[in-house]
């Protein structure tokens, strides 16, 4: 069998909550000395000329009555069940990931029977459907700790290894150093290990909103080790920004420097020669901005309106990318005392709830914000939209941004388990953290994240 390369980098990225559910179903279906099989049905995204990422939209684990035969020697699906899979998922243009187990705890090896069956099935898919479908096959030991994946070409004559990531980020967890261990920048954070530092160095982040919270977030995460950024914001610096924008100067405000260029300078001040930064001085609705979001490892939205946050959430859902939403709120009570809040929200990757069904975004406000200028003016006059910007202070923005960076470090390191998502709200002057129960954010049906499908 020819295993010559088809493309230089193929990635299968499964959200951790989905993988946990899928693996549990496979383990429940396992019986002693019998193989089991499961299917992921995926979309794919051409990240670059040499890189493709697959992410699942649905999964199926057959029950006992879905097999014609099931033993240690192999599996044969019931033909009616197989037809159901073809009509339900593949007719919709989804690629198939075929996963099965082998008994024992040794590193699993594809057998000659696997080679023969999968080669024929790859050709079957190519001939059966008008649109080009791909077959990825995966094999695990019975503990699901050891595995390998491969992508077949459509003639069934060649395959290529696939990188498998059942995690929030499709990043390598190796100890091989991409960061110089003697780099003095990170001398005081070596306690967290070289794996984290390498992951931070490899991580690509799209930041939507380069204002007070976004700029602070970029500065903090940049100093932790992130060098690869895409900045999206249509606004320019003004004098009113100087109270909350780290490193911003009167000269920048007088020149009306684009905020994306200002934040770019923050990162280049840390990494003068080895940063990778793309600046997009336009709104997130722009097609170019949307494409960059899908190619990033992480999307962060730190804007001050509901519509841009809704668009960011929709992009994260469409491309199955982790999303961190940051925001603050200041109000004055009738007795003249202030109430201040900051909120950090991380919806679960690939399921259960989103910013919309969790009621974290006001869809009525989002609709008004995206309306034509004429309607916007009428809404402002009627009091539905604010006529003055929200109040903001640097220290509250910094609490929000710092917490977001800390949560991201916990996600990368694994010491913070948030597969069900996270929604934290800080209240001042009470100095209290409120942690929303993720189950309370889930609704039975959601137009956006598809729970009702």
CATH of the domain at 17: 3.40.140.10
Give every CB contact of residue 448 below 8 A, 6+ residues apart in sequence.
313, 314, 317, 354, 356, 357
pLDDT at 376: 46
pLDDT at 428: 95
Q: Locate 313 and state its tokens.
A: 């959430």
Q: Which residue has the tokens 């008004």?
A: 368
Shared domain for 308 and 403, answered yes or no, is yes
Query: Does residue 158 sit within a domain?
Result: yes
Shared domain for 228 and 133, answered yes or no, is no
Shared domain for 271 and 342, answered yes or no, is yes
pLDDT at 353: 92
Shared domain for 207 and 120, answered yes or no, is no
The yes-or-no verdict on residue 155 having pLDDT over 50 is yes
Shared domain for 295 and 328, answered yes or no, is yes
Query: Does residue 130 sit within a domain?
Result: yes
Containing 339, the helix (H) or strand (E) segment is: strand 338-346
In whole angstroms, how far apart are CA 307 and each of 44, 184, 199, 398? 27, 42, 31, 23
pLDDT tens-digit map of 349-372: 876 899 998 888 887 777 766 655
Query: Does residue 330 sit within a domain?
Result: yes
CATH number of the domain where residue 222 is located? 3.40.50.720
Indicate if the alpha-carbon torsion angle 357, 318, 309, 201 is positive or negative: positive
Q: Locate 380 and state its tokens.
A: 């402002």
- Among the candidates 165, 180, 211, a domain finishes at 165
The yes-or-no verdict on residue 172 having pLDDT over 80 is no
Which whole number is the average pLDDT over 373-399? 64
The yes-or-no verdict on residue 18 having pLDDT over 90 is no
Query: Does residue 386 sit within a domain?
Result: yes
Shared domain for 257 and 301, answered yes or no, is yes
Give every CB contact of residue 340 below 8 A, 6+ residues apart in sequence.
328, 329, 330, 331, 396, 427, 428, 429
What share of the chain has pLDDT > 70, as a percent?
Answer: 87
Query: Does residue 172 sit within a domain?
Result: no
Shared domain for 202 and 89, answered yes or no, is no
What share of the chain has pLDDT > 90, as a percent?
Answer: 53
pLDDT tens-digit map of 55-86: 898 999 998 888 887 766 667 888 999 999 99
pLDDT tens-digit map of 241-285: 999 999 999 999 999 999 999 999 999 999 999 999 999 999 887
Query: Does residue 74 sit within a domain?
Result: yes
Structural domains of the chain, count? 2
| 3 state DSSP class of 416 | coil
How many Cα atoms are found within 13 Å in the side-chain-facing hemisphere of 346?
A: 24
Contact 438, 349 (CB under 8 A): no
pLDDT at 262: 97
- Among the candidates 133, 165, 197, a domain finishes at 165
- Name the residue range of residue 52's domain: 9-165
Average pLDDT taken over every residue of the chain: 86
pLDDT at 234: 95
């Amino acid at each position: 069998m020819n295993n010559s390369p088809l493309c230089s980098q193929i990635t299968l990225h499964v959200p951790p909550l989905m993988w946990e559910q899928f693996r549990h179903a496979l383990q429940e279906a396992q019986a002693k000395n019998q193989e089991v099989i499961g299917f992921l049905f995926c979309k794919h995204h051409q990240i670059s000329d040499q890189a493709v990422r697959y992410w699942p939209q649905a999964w199926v684990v057959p029950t006992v009555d879905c097999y014609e035969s099931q033993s240690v020697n192999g599996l044969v699906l019931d033909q009616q069940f197989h037809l159901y899979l073809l009509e339900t998922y593949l007719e919709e243009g989804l690629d198939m990931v075929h996963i099965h187990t082998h008994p024992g705890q040794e590193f699993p090896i594809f057998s000659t029977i696997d080679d023969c069956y999968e080669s024929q099935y790859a050709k079957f898919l190519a001939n059966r459907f008008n649109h080009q479908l791909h077959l990825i096959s995966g094999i695990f030991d019975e503990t699901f700790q050891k595995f390998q994946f491969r992508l077949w070409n459509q003639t069934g004559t060649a395959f290529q290894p696939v990188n498998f990531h059942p995690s929030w980020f499709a990043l390598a967890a190796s100890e091989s150093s991409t960061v110089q261990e003697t780099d003095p920048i990170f001398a005081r954070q070596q306690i967290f290990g070289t794996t984290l530092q390498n992951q931070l160095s490899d991580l690509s982040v799209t930041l939507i909103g380069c204002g007070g919270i976004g700029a602070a977030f970029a500065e903090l995460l940049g100093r932790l080790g992130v060098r690869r950024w895409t900045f999206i914001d249509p606004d320019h610096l003004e004098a009113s920004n100087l109270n909350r924008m780290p490193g911003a100067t009167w000269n920048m405000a007088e020149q009306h420097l684009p905020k994306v260029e200002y934040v770019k300078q923050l990162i280049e001040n840390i990494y003068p020669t080895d940063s990778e930064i793309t600046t997009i001085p336009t709104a997130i609705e722009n097609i170019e901005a949307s494409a960059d979001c899908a190619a990033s490892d992480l999307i962060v939205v730190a804007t001050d309106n509901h519509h841009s946050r809704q668009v960011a959430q929709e992009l994260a859902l469409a491309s199955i990318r982790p999303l961190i939403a940051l925001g603050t709120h200041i109000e004055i009570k009738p007795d003249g005392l202030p109430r201040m809040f900051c909120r950090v929200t991380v919806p679960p990757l690939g399921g259960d709830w989103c910013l919309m069904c969790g009621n974290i975004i006001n869809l009525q406000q989002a609709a008004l914000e995206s309306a034509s200028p004429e309607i916007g003016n009428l809404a402002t006059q009627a009091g539905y939209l604010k006529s003055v910007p929200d109040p903001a202070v640097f220290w509250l923005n910094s609490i929000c941004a710092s917490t977001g960076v800390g949560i991201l470090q916990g996600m990368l390191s694994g010491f913070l388990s948030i597969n069900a998502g996270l929604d934290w709200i800080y209240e001042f002057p009470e100095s209290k953290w409120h942690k929303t129960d993720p189950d309370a954010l889930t609704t039975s049906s959601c137009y956006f994240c598809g729970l009702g499908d």
